[in-house]
Each structure stands twice: as C-alpha cells, then as structure tokens.
Chains A and B, each alone.
Chain A
Amino acid sequence: MIHPQTFGYFCREAMINFKRAGAMTYASIGVITVTLFIMGIFLLLIVNLRLAQDVLIKKASIIVYLKDGLPTETIQSIQTNIGRQVNQASQIIYVSKQDALEGFKKELGQQEDILSGVQGNPLPAYFEIKLTPSKRFSWERLKKIAVAIEGMEGIEGVDYGQKAVEVIGTITDVVRMFIIGIGFILGLATLIIISNTIELALFARQDEIEIMKLVGATPWFIRCPYLLEGMIHGLISGILSIGLLWLIYHFGLLKTLAANPIFLFLPQMEFISWQMMSILIVSSGFLGCLGSLLSLHYFLKSNRE
C-alpha cells in the first residue's frame, strides 16, 4: 500500500517531468491523439455497420414464392411446416396469385396500363413471414430458417434480403480485419512515441536518478513518477481523441448527412458506446505505462557487472 505522502510525491514529480519536457510533451500528445483518432474513426465505422446490419435483420421478413398450380392441401401443409420453423409470435400471411396481382396493380396506380399487354397472371402466390426476432436473433439464424424453407416441396424460391445483409457483413469483416492490423501498428507507434518522450525525461534527470539509487531508493520508487507520466500522456491523448471524434461526428458527419437527401435511406447513426470509449482511454493509458516501462527498463538496467 502506497502512503498518501509518497503518492503525492510521485504525482508532483510526474508533473515536473511533464512541464520540463514542454514542447516535446505537446508534440507527443498531439501525435498520439491523432493516432487514436484514426483508430476511433474505424471503430465508429464498425459500430455503424453493425447497427445497419442489425436494423436490416430486425426488420427482416421472408418471402416464400410458391410454384404455380399447387393444390390447397399442399399450400396448407407448407404453411404448417413454415410455422414449425419460426417462433409463435411470427406472422405468416398467405398471398394468392390473384391477391399478388391486385397488390401489384395498386402499387403501380395510374401506370396500371403497363400490365395491359401481359397475358394471364405472371405473379406467383407467396407466403410473407413477418418475423418478430428476439434480441439475440442473428443473421445466421435467419439464413438457417430460409434455407430450411427453401428445401420444402412446392417452393419456387425464397427472398430474405440476403444480398444487402451479406454485403454489409463482408464490409464489416474487412473493416474488422483492418482495425486489428491498423490497431497493432498505431498501438506500436503510440508505444514508441511515449517511450521516446519518457526517455528524454529520464536523460534530463539522469543525475537525480543516480543519486536516488545511491541513497537507497528502490527501483519501483524511481520508476513510479515516470510510469505515472506515461499514463497521463496516454490518458490525455485518449480523452482528446474521443473529444475530437465526437466533434467531427456531431458537427461534421451528422450535419453533412442531414443536409444531403441521398443519405436519407441510411438507418439511424450511433456514436461509439461508453464501454468502447472507456476501453480506448484505458488502453491508451496502459500503452503509456508500457512505453514508460520500456524506456525505464533500458535506462535503469543495473550496471552492476
């Protein structure tokens, strides 16, 4: 347990280092902030891609097209079989060939004439399944249901918005891979920048550290102020980068989207969650500590041969 007086000493020393490094401190915080900001943009992207995918899945309905000329009993048995695949809350609506045509005509409105050249009724009868998905409903589950229904007898085809969801899914996967890669590189960059800044602080106080060792300060006592300094670097950068991201999100992105009607089809957007923000800040603080520890490791290496 650290004595409050000792902790006060560590904080004071860390602040002294912080001030002494001056321009170097600001430069390092600036660069790390930009680094974390870039990371934040990708996180924002992935959050919203996931959100879009979620919205699509939650709204999902399955359209089951039937082959022409099926006897009523077959249609009924298909409905029963579909009912077994989905949960009880889901609605299964039968739309006959005739109803489908009527519906289509209604949609066309005044342009109904287009159909005048068409012989008979080209539209198939279909079931519309309105799913009431539970919270944990996933894309995989939807796909499984659709595939099971498609395998039934008398089914022409199944449509469940697979294209849109699959495209978003692929993008999400690519972005996720990218985040892992770029996160590694940016993390390493942060580590090196902090480690260099701390090393300069260590060089500036070389004499002091030597005397500390000689009068019997433990290595941890010597390290603590520098670890704290590295951590403060990381934390400040983390907070600044999130602030910057929030500003750009609210006053840049959302304003632009609202002003352009082409983006109206986009679902609701979301900022990164509190948890994600905390993780970003805490991990940058941790990186700061680690960077410090690295330079301390080389600096304090005992020269006792």
Chain B
Amino acid sequence: MIQMRHITKVYEKGIQALNDINVEIGRGEMVFITGPSGAGKTTFLKLIYAETKPTSGLLFVGGKNVSSLASRDVPYLRRRIGVVYQDFKLLYQKTVFENIAFALRVISLPSAEIYKRTIKVLNIVELTHKKDAFPHQLSGGEQQRVAIARAIVNDPVLILADEPTGNLDAGMAANIMNFFMETNHQGTTVIVATHNKEKALKMGTHVIHVDSGQIVG
C-alpha cells in the first residue's frame, strides 16, 4: 500500500522533520506511528495525503508515485484516502448529516447516492439518531465519530488518523479505536499516529516508532 524509500523532509529554515525513512506498509494492515510530540508523525501522514512533498526520496501510495505527483492529481489521490484529526475539523454551521455528505458533494456525486451512502455510514458510527444535530450539540467522542464517518463515507482504501483520541477520555478513546479496528477488519488499511506507545503496543499490531525524524523501532 505504502512504500517509503529514503524519505527526508526538511521544512523551511532547515527544520528537519524526517530523516531517511524506509517503510513498507501492506494492504489491509493496521499500523501505529508512535513517538513524542515533534517526532515527525504528522509529517509522515501529510506526506501520504500529499499535503507536503518530500525533500528527497521516493514515496508510493497504492502504486502511485506521490513524491512527484502533479498538483492537479492530488484531489484524486485524496478521494481514496480518509483523514481523521485530533481536532475533528467539522463544520460547525452544518448538521451531522451535512458534514458527512459534504465529502461526497464536493466530488459531485448524485444526490440520491449521497443520501444512501451518508445514511449507511451514520449507521456504522451509530449516530443515525443525531443526524440533524449540530456538532456543538455532541460530545467529543460523538464529534470524532462524525469525523470518522466523513473519512469512510467515500469508501477509502486507506485511513489516516492523526492523534484521533488525543482530546477524548479513556472510554471514548477505546470506543473510537474499536471503530478503526472494525474498519480495518473490513479490509481498509489504517494508519494511526499517537504519542501513546504503550497503548499502541497493546493493540498488538504493526508499530512504527519515530523520534527526531528517524525510525527507532
């Protein structure tokens, strides 16, 4: 699914985020990227959804060379990737339903199809009864489930989550992790970045530990 070959990322003013990263992530894997704040976890994910370009090295996502992807092809890459954030990134003036449908509307899907798919994912994240609520009327865990629903509504082959449980209490965090596990069981590749190495190790899956921009185990 993902191949990184000697990936180095240096931001402006010489700030080095990643240094000579070599990683192979297979299709259908569940992977945790762990490491302290500023270790390069976010940059790792940003490279995959083409929010930033590597300074050097080669990056393949689903067989496509993303390191030299043209700007006009970026939207099409992102339609195959679902991204979930720590701060949810929901639109607060839109309802739960609209927030999820938004991801389909902007890729010009027909209305009937948008409705069908949105209802389906609302079911999966168990928020059908809250579909007309606004995000500020929901708990943190519920908001994150809306964000997950938006990420999976497009049937992505890959889900990236950047500290998805960082703002949640332990119970809700576990609940959210379960959603990712379930999605992974359906065959979707899931990559979760977290600073909590112990929890990641407990999940018993592929864990990549980064520190100061390098893989340390």
Contact = CB atoms under 8 A, between A and B. Distances in A.
Interface of A: 3, 5-6, 9, 207-208, 210-219, 221-222, 302-305
Nearest to B106: A217
A95 B56 CA distance: 97
A211 B89 contact: yes
A96 B74 CA distance: 90
B52 A305 contact: yes
Contacts of A213: 75, 78
Given A217-B107, A302-B71, A304-B71, A210 B154 contact: no
Interface string B140-156: 00000000001000100
B49 interface: yes
Interface of B: 11-12, 49-53, 71-72, 74-79, 83, 89, 91, 102-103, 105-108, 110-111, 150, 154
Contacts of B51: 303-304
A211 B154 CA distance: 14
A304 B79 contact: no
A5 B114 CA distance: 12
Q: What is the predominant secondary structure among interface residues of chain A facing chain B?
A: helix
A21 B12 CA distance: 35
Given A210-B89, A211-B89, A217-B75, A304 B108 contact: no
Nearest to A8: B111
Contact of B75 (A6, A207, A216): A216
A215 B11 contact: no
A238 B76 CA distance: 39
B91 A215 contact: no
A99 to B, nearest CB: 84
Contact of A216 (B11, B53, B76): B76
Contacts of A305: 11-12, 52-53
A218 B110 contact: no
A219 B72 CA distance: 8
A207 B71 contact: no
B154 A215 contact: yes
